[in-house]
Amino acid sequence: MKSPRLRDLLAAGAAVLSVTATALVPAPAYAQFGFGGIVYDPSNYAQNVLTAARTLEQINNQIRQLQNQATSLINEARNLASLPTSVLEPLQQQIRQTQQLLAQAQRISFDVQAIEGEFSRQYSGQNLTGSQREMVQGAEERWRNSVAAFEDALKVQASAVGNIEGSRTAIDSLVTASQSATGALQAAQAGNQLLALQSQQLSDLIATVAAMGRAQSLDAANSAAAKAQAREQLRRFLAPGRGYVPAGAQMFRN
């Protein structure tokens, strides 16, 4: 038999082991602790922290979306901005000036009906049926037509040369504007104005060629009419009975 003292020691040891084992067992996740009357639930706290983190992430995503939309709107505004530089009015003024010079063509104008009428009157065969005086007057009129046409051509050429400086200034402005363009619309407008400048230069070239061609055509027509008139005058001079009849001439006066 065990002594009473041994039984008391064994009982005390068993009690200590029981308390120690109880202390080593972890508390369940849903355990609640009280501090000064406030109940603290670790599981609920972790869930609230996770919810707050997710909400913050959603807010950040919305902020990024708003920033992207703002950037897109700014880019669209730049693409829709108009070019501050315009050279269309000076170009149109130069074209109008060239048109005025062509409209002021002397004697035979750039008109189909007028050309047909003048050529029928001055350059056709019927002009050879008049008198000697009428033929001389017709030749002088055709010569004046040629001289006036060459003068008109020189005026158009001078106007085209004068427009070169304006074209250079317009090119400088448009190239500078296109290089500093902030959007697609400004770049496109700069390109369109460069095309308009090329059209104006082409108009000057066409006007110059037309004026020079007119002068050369009138000069060629005058040459052809002069040859025809010379043949007619020679025929009349050699015609029997109507040709040249020698007569006395007084060289000196008494």
Q: Report domain extents, the chain.
A: 33-79, 84-237
Evaluate if residue 87 carries a pLDDT over 90.
no
**Percent share of the chain, pLDDT over 90:** 23
* Cβ-Cβ contacts under 8 Å for 207 (sequence gap 6 or more): 98, 101, 102, 156, 159, 160
Q: Which whole-number Å values give the CA distances from 113 to 104, 110, 117, 154, in the listed order?
A: 16, 9, 6, 24
pLDDT digits (tens, 9 = 90+) for 158-180: 999 999 998 888 888 888 887 77
Evaluate if residue 148 carries a pLDDT over 80.
yes
Token digits of residue 149: 């046409």
pLDDT band at 23 (very low <50, low <70, confident <90, very high): very low
- Count CB neighbours of 197 within 10 A: 20
Instruction: Give the pLDDT score at 239.
Output: 79
Instruction: Give the pLDDT score at 193.
Output: 87
Q: If you average pLDDT over every residue of the chain, what do you get? A: 79
CA atoms within 13 A on the CB side of 24: 6
Evaluate if residue 117 carries a pLDDT over 50.
yes
Instruction: Give the pLDDT score at 156.
Output: 94
Q: What is the distance between the alpha carbons of residues 193 and 65, in angstroms, rounded to a whole number? A: 38
Q: What is the distance between the alpha carbons of residues 166 and 16, in angstroms, rounded to a whole number? A: 110
Evaluate if residue 26 carries a pLDDT over 70.
no
